[in-house]
Structure formats: C-alpha cells, structure tokens
Chain A
C-alpha cells in the first residue's frame, strides 16, 4: 500500500506548516486563583514534531486548547502575554489548527462516517465539490476503510479516534494537536492511531504537538520534547533523547512513563493454601438490551476459580465481553447461562448465587471498581462518599470515621476530604474509586481496567496497594489491557476466547 499512496498529487503543497510563538504567555481560568500557565516563552518552527510533557496540573491541556483557539474569551479566563500562530492570535487562525482530544466518545459529531469527516470542511466553507474528495482522502490516510454511510456508533475506540483524526485532516491544518489521543485505547488501538498520524504527517509536513504520558509511543516520531513547569514556564526543552536521559528521573516522579525507568513491581508473599471464594462453571455472560427481556450472550463456556490471595486477570480483544464478565462475577448482572457459585465460607450463611445477594450483602463480600470512576460517586464530598458503604453496613460513627480517615491517608486523599469527587483529577478519581470499595473490606475485588489512562505514579501506587491487599488474603479479578499490570500482579490470566486459564508462575500454587 505504501508503494502507491492513494493520495492525489499536489496535496502536500497545499499545506503550509504553522509556526508557534509564545511570549511570556499565561492563562488563568475564570474563577480560579492560580494560573493554569504562566511565563511561557516558546518557539516552534514550521514542520517540527513536539512531545509536550509535564506533571499533572502543569497546564499542558490549557496550552493545547489555546493553540486550537477553543480556550474562550475574556469571560472564560484572563490572558497575559501573547501566543501567536503564524503571527496571528489563535482564535483568528480558524482552520489552520486541528485538535484531537482524549475521549473517543465525545468527539464524534454526526451519525455517519462520511458526514462526520465532512463536518469540519463544511464549517470552513469548503465548496461541496471539494469536500467529498477530501473526505475520501482523509479516511484513506487514517486507514479507515469503511463505506461513507457506515454508522459512527458501531466503531471501536481506536476507530473513533482515527475518525476524529480524519475529520481534522480533511480541514488540512498546518498544525496538528493531539491531547492524549491514545490514553483511552487498547494496545492495538494505540498503534493504529500512532501509525495513522505518522502517515499523514509524512505526507503533509504539518507542525505537530502531542501530549502523552506514555512516552514510548511517540518517542521515535517526535524530534523535540518540551517539559512544562507547574511553577510556570518551561522546565526543559531539547532533542528527545537528550531530554529523556537528562530529565528522566524527574519526569518519572511527575508521573510520566519514561521507557528507561519503568515502575517497580511489588514483591508478593502469597498465602497458602488459597481457598476458593467463587467458582464459575460453563458461565455465559450477557446484558439484557434496552427494551428486551432475554440477555444477548457475549461470551460463554467460562470456567474460573477465584481464590483468596490470588490475582486473576481477564484479557482479550475489545468486544469479547470482558467488562460484562467482570460485572457478572461481581454479582451485578445475572449469569446468562452456566453457574456462578460462592463457596460456603464466602457466602457465609446466605444463598450461593451472588446476583441474588442484596446490595448490602455484597458490600463485605465483593467490591467493584468501575472503569469510569464517575459512575460510582454518590455524595458531594470525598469524605461523605467514603462513608456511604460503612454506614450502609450499620457500623458505629466512630468506626466509620476511623475507616474513612485511614483510607484517605493510605490513598493520599486527606487534603481532598471536602472536595467534590467529580472535580478531582484523573489519578485522584481512580484512587478515590478504589477507596470507596475498600471502605467496606470486601473479600473479593473486581476491577474493570483499573490502570486505564493513569500516569506512572498512580499506576505504581495502585499496583503496590493491590499487592498488599492480595498478601492480606483478598481475592482479586481485574479486566485489563495493560501488559505491565499483568506482569506485575497476575497469578492467573484468563483470555476470553481461550478454553482454559493460563496459569502464571508468580503466585499461589
């Protein structure tokens, strides 16, 4: 395919790469005390490819939004200094800059693939006769070989991100901005999107800026790394290799995944004998679709043994039914077939099928950490939310307080006790969602993609905590795409679509 590019000649010549110039630039969001960005001096020459790094809260996304001209006006915040795109203010450089954001679901605008890609062109008033050739070309560049009337709702996460990229490329921007474009994707999706970006950049020669915690994805694509300083300005700026070796230690501490400095794996001391808590035999899982009565089965024939002190990971491609399996094991969905039975000691006097347990009976037995932490937040403050479980158990006020205080301390949430859970950062939300579950001390933990989109620091904390819990005898089952997570913790791996679980050598006998 690369021998005969599907693009008509002359495309590259139409794009003029953009120059970025920041002089003592700063931005403070309306209603906030501190500056999001301050004292930024920066110059990016046309055609340069830049990886933008920095600790959480260093203002990376603010800078990206400003470059894309979507930061808003004086009502939305205070601007200082100047930030110019080819000598003009970003808001006036409409169509010169294309931005792809992190969340695949909230970037799809229209219902059909072709229409969605055409959307940006329409807004730039590209003549109709020119729009459709651009749409086809952009789809070819990102490798989305789908009919133009294909419904966007049926695309995978990686396909949606490539669609967003195609929508931006069809506008033929001189500056391509990607704000953590692969954080929510599985490994295949990450490579798909990365390769599509490289292909289009090689072709257009546009200037390129990307934010990404996972440095290894982009390190061979970019030629320059800029590290923003949370205190203002630039911390480090230079060729990729040089910055990564000089600043590696510091970056890793700030949560950046530096390839040369992988996070440490915790040492486990497995308990013996590992007692079975929950056993699935020939289990079929599925959801009851909206407005139907029978479940549509997504995976069947699952036989699993979840044992105390043992970590089981469930892997497999997108759409294989991993999350549905997790929700079923957690007693939240009714099995669509086969059996799922708790052992007598685990059930402790109630019926053996988890889906028949009352909500309150689940609390001390199975704790579930959802993929999207926001789904499990119930109260207006972190402290009140953490107390919900212990209160539902009917614990004394003193016991409630001591459990919550201990958890907030252990998960570094003390300073956020009165904050609204919805306003926390990504890493804080994840720690908080784990804390809500641990507050009732369940014997089995079910986690759905616990490390998705997390920086290396949160990852390290999470894995260390889970290892401690395993050593205390808690059983753990996690749905994950994260190979490092599997290596760090898993005793058994169950690949959906495979007949038997693969036993890994690290844990219980």
Chain B
C-alpha cells in the first residue's frame, strides 16, 4: 500500500476508466460552482450519497480518506454563519457577531457545497490507480506521453523526498546545528534542508531522466501502450449520471427559486 500502488478493492467503480471518473467530478463541481444556494448543493449531495454506497471503499477507508472534508465543511459553514454577509431577520447577536437568516442560509449552502464537491472527488481518486489514470490521460484524452509519463515517474520521487528530508534533519542534528537559535534558527533549520533537498531532487530527477532516455523514452517516434485504456459503455453511463446529477440539482434549485447564478 502506497501512494503509487494503492490497494483498491475490486468494485464497479474501480473498473471504470479513470478519465470518466475525472469527468464526473469536474461536471458536478462546475455545476455547483455556478450558484451558491443550499438546495442545489443538498440535492447533488443526496444523489451522490446513493452512488458512494457503490464506491467499493470499506467504511473505515471511507471515513479516513474523507475526514478532511468532514472537518472543512462545518468549519466553512460556522464561519460563514457567524461572519457572512447579513440579510433578512436577525436571529442572534453578540458584539460584532451576528447571525441572520441570510448568513445562516449562506453558511448551509457553503457547507453542503464543500461536501458535494469534495466527497466524490476524493472517493473517485481513492479508487483510482495513478498508473491507470496516466494511461487514460494519454490514450483516451491523447495528452502527450512525454508529459503524462514524465509526471507519473516524477510522482515516484515524492516518497524519496520524505526519506531524504528525514536524513537531512538528522544530519543537521549530528552536525551541531539541529536546535537552538530561536525563531531565526528554526527558519534556518527549515530552509537549509529545503535547499539541500532541492539539489538532491534535481539530481535524482536528471538521473531518472537519463535512465528513461536510455530506455528509448522521449523521442518523437510513435510508442505503443502495454496496458490498454478503453472507454466502455459503463463509462458513458457514469458520465451520463454525472450530467444527470448536475441537471437535477440545478433544475430543483431553479424550481425552488433558490438558484442564483453567480455570473448574473
């Protein structure tokens, strides 16, 4: 189990093409960014909840991975309720802080929005292998192989950065500059290793580039793909569902007269 080779349980969602998943996440997000009202976000979240049951993550994995969103949503909601633009009847006041009907509605709309955009994004990516995503981006969307595979190979270096950072901080302690010096010392202890890490990473990157070039990568000749990335009927259905969620959310909001187009 690691960033690049996640353990993904076989499920309907795991078998879908990553590009289709990316498309759905983008469609829903774009639709929800067009307005700030609680109805559209609430409807989208409700419809998504039905889909998330099929995502193939265990309950533990689901809560662990989506924890940041569950923390961020109420925080965004509370701050908006307390400090958001006031309108409508005054519900509660304490010094500068005032809660009105308008700010309460705005808070709810923002909180639901964070959930409705964040949850599907995280869940879809949690069920996607980075290698499959790269295959999809290059074969389905025809993004340049040099760019996609270069990025994928670079991603592998991230794990090494963590190792290097660890060694660099230990080495500073061993060399007598690992503590003390107050705030300036602390800043130096961060920027010093950061610079060394940069130098070491650039070298590692250029070595990797040489190794890739030595294996025929980076020429303008056509290349083949060992792992086919195909768009199947199920992927089309998924994208259709994405459009449906976006459409229904907007439709209900317009019908309930809460829709407020932000560009209007």
Give chain A's interface residues, CB within 8 Å of chain B: 65, 68-70, 94-95, 98-99, 101, 103, 105-112, 114-115, 118-128, 131-132, 135, 149, 151, 153, 164, 167-168, 171, 287, 290, 327, 330, 332-333, 358-360, 362-363, 366-368, 370, 372, 374-378, 388-389, 392-393, 422, 436-437, 440
Q: Tell me whether B212 and A126 are in contact (CB under 8 A).
A: no
Q: Tell me whether B173 and A151 are in contact (CB under 8 A).
A: no
Contacts of B222 in A (CB 8 A): 125
Q: Tell me whether B223 and A125 are in contact (CB under 8 A).
A: yes
Contacts of A69 in B (CB 8 A): 214
Provide 25 A-B residue pairs closer than 8 Å at the C-beta atoms, listed in order of the A residue.
A68-B214, A70-B214, A95-B216, A98-B214, A103-B207, A105-B160, A105-B204, A109-B217, A111-B131, A115-B227, A120-B215, A121-B226, A122-B223, A122-B224, A123-B219, A125-B221, A127-B224, A128-B225, A153-B5, A168-B214, A363-B175, A370-B167, A375-B168, A376-B171, A437-B174
Interface status of B67 (Cβ within 8 A of chain A): no
Least Cβ–Cβ distance between B72 and chain A, in angstroms: 19
Contacts of A107 in B (CB 8 A): 207-208, 211
Interface status of B156 (Cβ within 8 A of chain A): yes
Closest to B227 in A: A115
Q: When chains A and B are docked, how far (Å) is the Cα of A112 from the Cα of B176?
A: 41
Q: 18 new A-B pairs (CB below 8 Å) besides A94-B216, A122-B225?
A: A98-B214, A107-B208, A110-B131, A110-B153, A118-B226, A128-B224, A132-B226, A153-B156, A171-B215, A359-B172, A372-B167, A374-B196, A375-B200, A378-B175, A378-B196, A388-B177, A422-B199, A437-B174
Give chain B's interface residues, CB within 8 Å of chain A: 2, 4-5, 130-131, 149, 152-153, 156, 159-160, 162, 164, 166-168, 170-180, 192, 196, 199-200, 204, 207-208, 210-217, 219, 221-228
Q: Tell me whether A327 and B5 are in contact (CB under 8 A).
A: no
Contacts of A368 in B (CB 8 A): 171, 174
Contacts of B164 in A (CB 8 A): 375
Looking at the complex, which one of B162, B174, B196, B216 makes contact with A124 (CB distance below 8 Å)?
A: B216
Q: When chains A and B are docked, how far (Å) is the Cα of A108 from the Cα of B156?
A: 9
Known A-B contacts A115-B131, A115-B227; the reply to A333 vs B214 at CB < 8 A is: no
Q: When chains A and B are docked, how far (Å) is the Cα of A330 from the Cα of B213?
A: 40
Least Cβ–Cβ distance between B60 and chain A, in angstroms: 16
Q: When chains A and B are docked, how far (Å) is the Cα of A423 from the Cα of B210?
A: 19
Q: When chains A and B are docked, how far (Å) is the Cα of A366 from the Cα of B176?
A: 10
Looking at the complex, which one of B159, B175, B178, B226 makes contact with A122 (CB distance below 8 Å)?
A: B226
Contacts of B199 in A (CB 8 A): 374, 422
Known A-B contacts A131-B224, A378-B175; the reply to A164 vs B211 at CB < 8 A is: yes
Known A-B contacts A70-B213, A101-B211, A168-B215; the reply to A128 vs B226 at CB < 8 A is: yes
Looking at the complex, which one of B2, B171, B174 makes contact with A151 (CB distance below 8 Å)?
A: B2
Known A-B contacts A115-B226, A125-B224, A128-B225; the reply to A106 vs B211 at CB < 8 A is: yes
Considering the complex of A and B, which 8 residue pairs feature the smallest CB-CB distances, nearest first?
Answer: A359-B178, A123-B216, A392-B176, A111-B4, A120-B215, A106-B207, A118-B226, A151-B5
Contacts of A388 in B (CB 8 A): 175-177
Q: When chains A and B are docked, how far (Å) is the Cα of A115 from the Cα of B4?
A: 12
Q: Tell me whether A376 and B131 are in contact (CB under 8 A).
A: no
Q: Tell me whether A362 and B167 are in contact (CB under 8 A).
A: no
Contacts of B219 in A (CB 8 A): 94, 123
Q: Tell me whether B173 and A70 are in contact (CB under 8 A).
A: no
Q: When chains A and B are docked, how far (Å) is the Cα of A370 from the Cα of B223?
A: 42
Q: When chains A and B are docked, how far (Å) is the Cα of A392 from the Cα of B179?
A: 11
Looking at the complex, which one of B131, B167, B171, B180 makes contact with A358 (CB distance below 8 Å)?
A: B180
Looking at the complex, which one of A109, A153, A370, A392 makes contact with B212 (CB distance below 8 Å)?
A: A109
Closest to B207 in A: A106
Known A-B contacts A99-B214, A123-B217, A375-B171; the reply to A106 vs B224 at CB < 8 A is: no
Closest to A369 in B: B174
Q: When chains A and B are docked, how far (Å) is the Cα of A121 from the Cα of B216?
A: 8
Closest to A134 in B: B226
Known A-B contacts A123-B215, A360-B180; the reply to A101 vs B226 at CB < 8 A is: no
Q: Tell me whether A327 and B216 are in contact (CB under 8 A).
A: no
Looking at the complex, which one of A94, A153, A362 makes contact with B174 (CB distance below 8 Å)?
A: A362
Q: Tell me whether A111 and B130 are in contact (CB under 8 A).
A: yes
Q: When chains A and B are docked, how far (Å) is the Cα of A124 from the Cα of B217?
A: 8
Q: When chains A and B are docked, how far (Å) is the Cα of A367 from the Cα of B216?
A: 44
Q: When chains A and B are docked, how far (Å) is the Cα of A377 from the Cα of B153?
A: 27
